[in-house]
Each structure stands twice: as C-alpha cells, then as structure tokens.
Amino acid sequence: MELSIPVPVLALMERLEDRGFEAWAVGGCVRDRLLGLAPHDWDLCTDALPGEIAQVFEDFPLVRAGEKHGTIAVVTGRQPVEITTFRTEGGYRDHRRPDWVHFEKSLREDLARRDFTINAMAYNPHRGLADPFGGQADLADCILRAVGEPEKRFREDGLRILRGVRFAARFHLTPEPRTLAAMTALAPTLNGLARERIFGELCGFLPAACAKDFQTFWPVITAAVPALAPMLGFRQHNPHHAFDVYTHTAYVVAGVPPELPLRWAALLHDVAKPACFTLDEEGVGHFRGHAHRGAEMAREILGQLHAPRALQDRVATLIAYHGVTRDLGRLPGDRPLRRLLRRLGEETLWDLLALDRADDSGKGTPSDPAAFDRFEASLRQILAEQPCLTTRDLAISGRDLLELGLPQGPELGRILQTLLEEVGDGRLPNTPEVLLRRAEVLHQRHNANRRKS
C-alpha cells in the first residue's frame, strides 16, 4: 500500500530517517488518506527525543511550546508540522492533559495511547502501514471503536466522547457496543470541560450530522447542550407534529444545508417549546411565543459556549423569525415581504426559507408546503426588480438633503428612512425629483408639528 504524502512533509520524514530515526505520519492524516480525503494537516511521530528533533531541524523555524510533552512543530511550507516523540502517558486528573509522559522507542506503545482505532494508524513510505489495532478494517466496516479499554480512554480526556460523535457523523460510523456504552455512561463528564472546547467539537459535528446521529448519541448531545434535555420525549399534542420536540429537531437539523449558522439555528429553533407549552380545552398543544423566547435562549446557550458574537446574532435572528416565510406565503400581496426584506436582507431571508422548509417537513405531517413555494416565487420576483433595501440604494443621499436646506441631525436620517419605506412599498418611484419633493414635504410637516407642540 502506498499513500501520497506532500513533498515538504516527506522531506522532514526523510531527514529524520537519514539521521537514523524512525519517522511516521500518524493519526488523522493517515485515516484521511485511506479514505481518499485531503488531510487538513500532517502530524509525524518518531523515536527521536525532543532535543534530537530540535537538533535535526536546527535550520528550520521551530515552535517548542509543546516540548515538555514531546512535541516540536517544524515550520515548513504553509503551516507547521508537529513532530512528537513516541510516548506513553499517565493519568488525566484534569480530563484534558496527561499528568506525565514517558518517552518510548516503540511505535506500538505510542499508538496504544490514542483515542480510536481509526486514528491509531501510522504510515512510512518504506515500512508501509502500521495498524496494530485494526483501524483500517474498522474504517472499511464503518465502525467506531476505542483503542483498548473505552472507559479508560474517555476518562483520560472527556472531549474524546464528543470527538467520537463527530467522527461517527463525518465518516458515517456506527459505534461498537462497548464504545457506545462508555460514551453514554461518561457523558456527564462533559460538564467539567471548557465550554469553548465543547463548542469546537459541536461545530465539527453539526454540519455532518444526520437525524440518526441524534438518536444514537442523545445522552452525549444533551450533556453537551443541557438545554436540549427537556425536549427529549416532549410530546407536542398537535395534529401537525408526529414527533416529540427532540426527534423533530433532529430531522430539522438534517434537513437544512450543512452551513454552521443554519445548523445551529435548526438545533435550537424549538429549544423554548417545553417552557412555552400550553394545552387547550380540546387537548391541542400550543407554544405561543416560543420563537422569541427561543432566540433569547439561543443567545444564552451560545454565549455560554463562547461562540462568536456574529454567530450568536445570526442564529438568534433566524430563530426569532422562523415560521415567517410560511405565514407570508399565505398572504395576498407582497408589501409585508418587501418590508421584511429591507429589515433582514436577502441572505437572511433565504436562510429563513431553508429553515422553515426543513421545520415543516420535519413535522412528519407537513402543513402547507405550497406556501413556501409562493414565498420563494415572490422573493425572486422582488429581487429581480433590484429593490431599494437600504438608504444607500435611494436615488438621493443625505448630502442632497443638506443641499436642499434640511438641517444636519436626526431628522435627516428619519426622512431618508421614510423615503426608503415608501419606495420599498411601491408608493414612490426611486427618482431624484420625486424624492426631493417628498423630502421637502416631510421636512415641512416636521416643522409644523414642532410649532404645534
């Protein structure tokens, strides 16, 4: 078997080998190459000690921050290549870093400390594939299997549980029973991890997730995001919903495009339903206000996970307005849609449409699919007209109003906003002459109201 290795990485391996050391590509890069994928980065392992690695590459820029744990990064090409001495590790009292490391001369010992068999493989162009734990066979059989004793692996670093969920989703793997049992039993240990680490793994999981992943790994997912737990088994008592809130959410996540803001919005779009639930006299469930409350909860959840503010804002907006595309698709005329387009922008409306379509199809009994088609047709028609969406699209500017004699100040902005609304609603043509005349009228009206008050 021959795996392709980038020339700069191969040159590092050859230099180590020429100095009498073993050099192996290891972990995810080997896994990805076996799957025919392009690795994001390349990691090497060697029997050379850290000081010897530094000596071999003394003419390269080095990053030695991880030297204590046996890792030195050699800067070559576009990104550093981490080279780590074969090692075994002690306990993980903080569930993240080993209490101690012991440098080894055996590649097998080094591979034995890794998380999953699919990541416990190494490759050398001259020696071939080293696969002491059957990672290649597990890849072929689509199996996720921990190396050695699963509980020990996950107690060492609880984040490995979420990494396993991410690997299973990305590579379509089924966890073998002992591995799944350990992941489930130790899911509560996620509470002790840094929230930004959990956020990073969830961002890797969500774009790859399918509905089945949410069912298989529900103890892990709800431990990572505790606000999802009340959704489990929560019956909606509604003729339009065939599933509990959690199962419905799983279908919605899988139904939107694999873009991070959309996937997060789908995951959290109904997070407030259990808190907003009421049952009417006929036994029908209602969730009044759950969209706006859900937007608030989404901000709290993403804030606790240290998500970027831009992502928090976008997800909260999508959740607050979810359902609106169906509602507007049922209304005659397009004035409300034009107003919403000006308020939210084109990109957000397309995302809302994708979210609402998935929300409707994920009910099990879709309510009105044709409404989304009507909304889409109306939106495309409006966009084809190249509408005014911001004051910058008007045929006049604030400077034109100043030259007209209007004073600098808040009134200027209010007049421009009024002109935008009237043009956007089709009440005014977007021409300089008409807009300037209308601006004069609005200014005179403003002065008259001030004199009356």
> What's the start-to-end Cα distance of the chain, in Å?
87
pTM of the model: 0.88
Beta strand pairing status for 71-76 and 174-175? unpaired
pLDDT of residue 246: 98
Which residues, 6+ apart, have CB-to-CB distance to 272 below 8 Å?
287, 289, 290, 291, 293, 294, 296, 297
pLDDT of residue 95: 47
pLDDT of residue 93: 58
Which residues, 6+ apart, have CB-to-CB distance to 141 below 8 Å?
none
* Residues facing residue 129 across a β-bridge: 123
CA 74 from centre of chain: 30
CB-count exposure of residue 69 (10 Å: 0-12, 13-18, 19+): middle
* Residues facing residue 44 across a β-bridge: 25, 83
pLDDT of residue 366: 74
Record the tokens describing residue 252, joined without a space: 């919605």
DSSP output for 164-210: HHHHHHHHT-EE-HHHHHHHHHTGGGGGGS-HHHHHHHHHHHGGG--
At 377-427, the pLDDT tens digits run 999 999 998 888 888 889 999 999 998 888 888 888 999 999 998 888 888
What residues of the chain score a pLDDT lower than 70? 89-100, 453
Phi/psi region, residue 216 (left: phi>0; alpha: psi -120 to 50; beta: rest), is: alpha
Residue type, 142: C
At 428-450, the pLDDT tens digits run 999 999 999 999 899 888 888 87
pLDDT of residue 407: 86
CA 359 from centre of chain: 18
Alpha helices (H) in 49-115, listed in sequence order = 50-56, 107-112
Alpha helices (H) in 308-345, listed in sequence order = 309-321, 324-329, 335-344
